[in-house]
Amino acid sequence: MKRIYLDYAATTPTHPEVVKAMVPYFTEAFGNPSSLYVCGQEAKSAIEQARVLVADLIGAESEEIVFTSGGTEADNFALEGVAFANEDRGNHIITTTIEHHAVLETCKFLEARGFSLTYLPVDEHGLVDPEDVKRVITDKTILISVMQANNEIGTIEPIAEIGRIAKEAGVYLHTDAVQTVGHVPVDVNELGVDLLSISAHKLYGPKGVGALYIRKGTRIVSLMHGGEQEQGRRASTENVPAIVGLGKAVELAQREMSEEAGQLVNLRDQLIKGLMERIDDIRLNGHPQRRLPNNINVSVKFVEGEAVLLNLDLEGICASTGSACSSPSAEPSHVLLALGVPLEQARGSLRFTLGKWTSEEEIERVLEVLPPVVARLRAMSPLVKRER
């Protein structure tokens, strides 16, 4: 059976060209980039090339890019690094209820260490209101962290508006752009952000590598202490092949992103339309227009999302109930609950995220397989009899 992969927001396959670009940095140019002989300096120059590519994609200077072990570390670095470097200015941090766990758990950690957190609500489509941000800023506020696009529902937040508010108030702004970089145009100056998180494995690069953009002049402390790598901002011998892979992924994105987004929007809308036509009592979660080109998130009433997923898996279709991290626990998504989706509908949520290799045939296959699966589960569901 041919597998149909529709979980690109959880991770993407590594692009074959990325793998090809990485291989020489395991086999030939395996030197330590801090070493002065040729095979070390080859590795060093490959890292610097990747840094330029990443910076170019987001309109930054290469010195403003620090490579990390992924999106999670970039988020931790941004929040903890800025919090601990600016304690003398204040202890208040603003974020939202729909952030990724990499941000939310870091906020909890900071809260336990004396920082004061404000978690802004979102509207029924998952949008943060910039006026809310403005309203809660105090003279103790040091940082605002709002994700650029949500990984579960695909809603794209008004970061540029929040950027203007942050700038006016003299408060740092961080955005988790893991779901947007390499997929839609991202420019740190247009957005007005001071810190921005990137992860390679969400844009056809390898897992275990990412980057944090840090605007020049931002007060931040390091989390990793040791050697002088990354201009002394992130100790540890660089993961050279992975960084080269991220560079290659970014280079491919620069070239292919806009055409790919156009195709994905068509496939996305085809799947949304088909699901709405073929399944009763279903609703689209997230913003109808301001959403990622590849994201479909629906709540199917009277079924458990997990049961649907297992049945889809038997048909070779990989999808998700929301975020990859929360799926093994049967906890309903914190994002859907924040939108005001009733608990039972949050439990019946399904996320399909499309990518570079998604075809129209695959979308048609989902539209063929899913309605009978839902009908079968509903026929067995006690929820249906109770509510109908």
Ligand X SMILES: *Cc1c(COP(=O)(O)O)cnc(C)c1O
Residues with catalytic function: 325
169 to 188, contacts with ligand X by CB under 6 A? 176, 178-179
Residues 208-267 interacting with ligand X (rule: CB under 6 A) = 210
Which of these segments, 70-78, 213-221, 244-252, 372-380, binds ligand X (CB under 6 A)? Answer: 70-78
What residues numbered 198-217 form the site for ligand X, per CB under 6 A? 199, 201-202, 210
94 pairs with which residues across the strands? 118, 144
**320 Cα distance to chain centroid:** 15
> How, if at all, do strands 172-176 and 141-145 pair?
parallel
Helix, strand, or coil here: 197? strand
- CB closest to ligand X, residue no: 71
Contact 126, 335 (CB under 8 A): yes
Taking the complex as a whole, the smallest distance from the CB of residue 224 to ligand X amounts, in Å, to: 15
- Considering only CA atoms, which of 343, 351, 238, 230 is closest in space to residue 286? 351
Binding flag, residue 317, ligand X (CB under 6 A): no
- Applying CB under 6 A, does 70 fall inside the site for ligand X? yes
The candidate with the shortest Cα–Cα distance to 94, out of 149, 165, 150, is 165
Number of residues in contact with ligand X, rule: CB under 6 A?
Answer: 15
Give the x/- contact pattern for ligand X in 293-312, rule: CB under 6 A.
Answer: --------------------
Q: How far apart are CA 137 and CA 147, in angstroms?
A: 18
CB contact burial 96-112 (16+ within 10 A = b; e otherwise): bbbbbebbbebbeebee
In the complex with ligand X, the residue whose CB is nearer, 75 or 157, is 75
Q: Enumerate residues 129-148 that contact ligand X by CB under 6 A.
A: 147
Which residues does 163 contact at the CB level (< 8 Å), separation at least 6?
173, 191, 192, 193
- CA–CA gap between residue 159 and residue 278 (Å, rounded): 36
Q: Does residue 151 belong to the site contacting ligand X (CB under 6 A)?
A: yes
Q: Tell which one of 72, 86, 95, 381 touches ligand X (CB under 6 A).
A: 72
CB of 294 to ligand X, least distance (A): 12
Nearest CB to ligand X, comparing residues 338 and 377:
338
Give the nearer residue to ligand X in terms of CB position, either 285 or 381.
285
Answer yes or no: are the C-beta atoms of 328 and 301 closer than 8 Å: no
User: Of the candidates 15, 100, 215, 291, which one interacts with ligand X according to CB under 6 A?
Assistant: 100
Report, in angstroms and rounded to the nearest whole number, the Rg of the chain calculated over CA atoms: 22
Binding region for ligand X (CB under 6 A)? 70-72, 75, 100, 102, 147, 151, 176, 178-179, 199, 201-202, 210
